[in-house]
Amino acid sequence: MKAAEQVIGDVMEQVRKRNPNEPEFHQAVLEVLESLEPVIERHPEFVETGILERIVEPERQLIFRVPWIDDNGRVQVNRGFRVQFNSAIGPYKGGLRFHPSVNLGIIKFLGFEQTLKNSLTGLPIGGGKGGSDFDPKGKSDFEVMRFCQSFMTELYRYVGADVDVPAGDIGVGAREVGYLYGQYKRLTTLYHGVFTGKGLSYGGSLGRTQATGYGLLYFLEEMLKDYDQSLKGKTAVISGSGNVAIYAAEKAQQLGALVVAMSDSNGYIYDPDGIKLDTIKQIKEVERKRIKVYREHHPSAQYHEGSKGIWTVKCDLALPCATQNEIDEESARILVANGVTAVGEGANMPSTPEAIKVFQNNKILFTPAKASNAGGVATSALEMTQNSMRLAWTFEEVDAKLKDIMVRIYRQTSKVAKEYGFEGDLVKGANIAGFLKVADAMMAQGIV
């Protein structure tokens, strides 16, 4: 039989050949495969049954035209995607991203990550992801509505409460989810939990809005405890000012950290006295304006053009919560030189492989997104449970379950890392732990 290293090399070569021009997808797969060598050595049956070849190939990929009419009466056409990656442990589950940078490779990287992340939550959800190259920025509410209705007019055939359950992601928040859900209901006459991140008046869960950001901090707190540290008194820099960033900042502040910088895709603000989150929420959630407006409210703060500069701000904790590959090797080196002690990933794959190496070589505590941002999807699964039961839990109930799940994910990830000889390496721990459950379910279900 081929050595594990050879098996992995062959699978990776096939992924590159079969999916050309999809660098983010290659990056996500490579990181996981590289972690799996000792797993393959222990489990030759995974090789015999082609688990690796199958797990890197989505079960189904949908690409569709999304025509809509703008406020000037002109026809616009976007491209829609839904990648149903893996349903071994439950119905496909994963968000929709609306951003001009969206293409099939981005959706596949996110769907692949999602499969392992969902497995880590311990809940019965498979992996999927979708979206469009539509840019909600600068569009009127009616334009966004017409786009969402057109998008769902195609997607509704492929989703359902026990089939595939989308949610939000970049560019898809409460407004978009509402329009998408409304159109789904109109087309199917079904009132069921086909979406998560819904508004509270129509089946949403308390705590879902906060879940990814809060979950990241619960995970981080648990990790810091293992190193006799806490968040109290630490200075934090958080990139982004969307859903994940805002609630990561809120929980970080509640746990005693001082958040001094946040960003959007244009630039970042630095407020050494601590970011005033009420202002950020007003600017971003209500007015949908750029982050530089913050200075109009707090003139002592600084605004700098360019989002990458945020990593030059001195801090103890760096929490990337904006987008993929936002911390490169150069930024990682600057963070280390400035004394960062922990990096917690809130966004999906925000650190490049080179950046992760810099953190690991310098013994910086590092939480990989797959594990540390799983709180959002875990709470989505709790929303699905409530919808099925026709019940609504209180915020405190949901938050307690979220905390419990994040603590469990940290414990499991660090235990598995140790078991496989990578003590303290949560990247490997998360990849292996997430993979094992999916592989086990795939084995049990035969070659499908």
* Nearest distance, CB of residue 137 and ligand NDP, angstroms: 6
Task: Select from 224, 223, 205, 115 the least CA-distant residue to 393.
Answer: 205
Contacts for 115 with CB less than 8 Å, ≥ 6 apart: 55, 85, 86, 126, 127, 434, 438
Could you say which residues in the range 234-273 bind ligand NDP, by CB under 6 A? 240-245, 264-266
Give me the phi and psi of 239, to 5 degrees please: -85, 155
- Give 114 or 420: the residue with its C-beta nearer to ligand NDP: 114
Give min distance, CB of 244 to ligand NDP, in A: 4
Distance CA 11, CA 228 (A): 41
307: contact with ligand NDP by CB under 6 A:
yes
* Edge-to-edge strand ranges of the sheet holding 60-69: 60-69, 75-86, 127-132, 92-98, 164-167
Of the candidates 118, 150, 210, 212, which one interacts with ligand NDP according to CB under 6 A?
212
CB of 48 to ligand NDP, least distance (A): 34
Q: Minimum CB separation from ligand NDP for residue 210, in Å?
A: 10
Using CB under 6 A as the binding rule, whether residue 434 contacts ligand NDP is answered as: no
Q: Which one, 167 or 340, has the nearer CB to ligand NDP?
A: 167
Burial class of 337 by CB neighbour count within 10 A (0 to 12, 13 to 18, 19+): exposed
Find the shortest distance in angstroms from Cβ 99 to ligand NDP.
Answer: 6
Which element (helix H / strand E) includes 146?
helix 141-155
- Which active-site residues does the annotation give? 129
Q: Which is nearer to ligand NDP, 111 or 173 (CB)?
A: 173
Q: Which residue is nearest to ligand NDP (CB)?
A: 242
Task: Kindly tell me which of 121 and 442 has the beta carbon lying closer to ligand NDP.
Answer: 121
DSSP string, 343-356: EE--SSS-B-HHHH
Q: Where are the beta strands (DSSP E) in 264-409?
A: 267-270, 302-305, 317-320, 342-344, 365-367
Strand partners, 320: 239
Q: Quick one: 40 or 433, whose CB is closer to ligand NDP?
A: 433
Write out the binding residues for ligand NDP, residues 332-371 only, by CB under 6 A. Answer: 346-348
Query: Smallest distance, Å, CB 77 to ligand NDP?
Result: 22
Of 94, 376, 429, 434, which one interacts with ligand NDP (CB under 6 A)? 376
Chain centroid to Cα 425, Å, comes to: 20
Cα 328 from chain centroid? 18
User: Which backbone phi and psi does 272 adopt, to 5 degrees?
Assistant: -60, -20
> Is the CB of 43 or the CB of 97 nearer to ligand NDP?
97
**Smaller CB distance to ligand NDP: residue 90 or 173?**
173
Q: For the chain, how long is the longest CA-to-CA vector?
A: 67
Among 115, 118, 132, 373, binds ligand NDP (CB under 6 A): 373
Q: Should residue 114 be labelled a site residue for ligand NDP when binding is judged by CB under 6 A? A: no
Question: Please, which residues have CB within 8 angstroms of residue 300's CB and are 6 or more apart in sequence?
Answer: 271, 273
Say whether residue 168 binds ligand NDP (CB under 6 A). Answer: yes
Which is closer to ligand NDP, CB of 81 or CB of 420? 81
- The burial of 332, by beta-carbon neighbours within 10 Å (0-12 exposed, 13-18 middle, 19 or more buried), is given as buried
Taking CB under 6 A as the rule, does residue 203 contact ligand NDP?
A: no
Binding residues with ligand NDP: total (CB under 6 A):
24
- As a whole number of angstroms, the distance between CA 165 and CA 175 comes to 17
Question: Residue ranges of the alpha helices (H) in 196-328?
Answer: 208-226, 243-254, 277-281, 294-297
Q: Applying CB under 6 A, which of residues 130, 171, 207, 368 lies at the interface with ligand NDP?
A: 171
Does 170 participate in binding ligand NDP (rule CB under 6 A)?
A: yes
Pick the piece of the chain touching ligand NDP (CB under 6 A) from 74-82, 155-163, 167-175, 383-391. Answer: 167-175
- How far is residue 103's CA from residue 131's CA, in Å, rounded to a whole number? 9
Part in contact with ligand NDP (CB under 6 A); list of ranges 43-51, 73-81, 170-178, 414-422: 170-178
Q: Is 132 in the site for ligand NDP (CB under 6 A)?
A: no
Stretch that binds ligand NDP, among 48-56, 179-187, 316-324, 431-439 (CB under 6 A): 316-324
Pairing of strands 258-263, 267-270: antiparallel
Contacts with ligand NDP by CB under 6 A lie at 168-171, 173, 212, 240-245, 264-266, 307, 321-323, 346-348, 373, 376
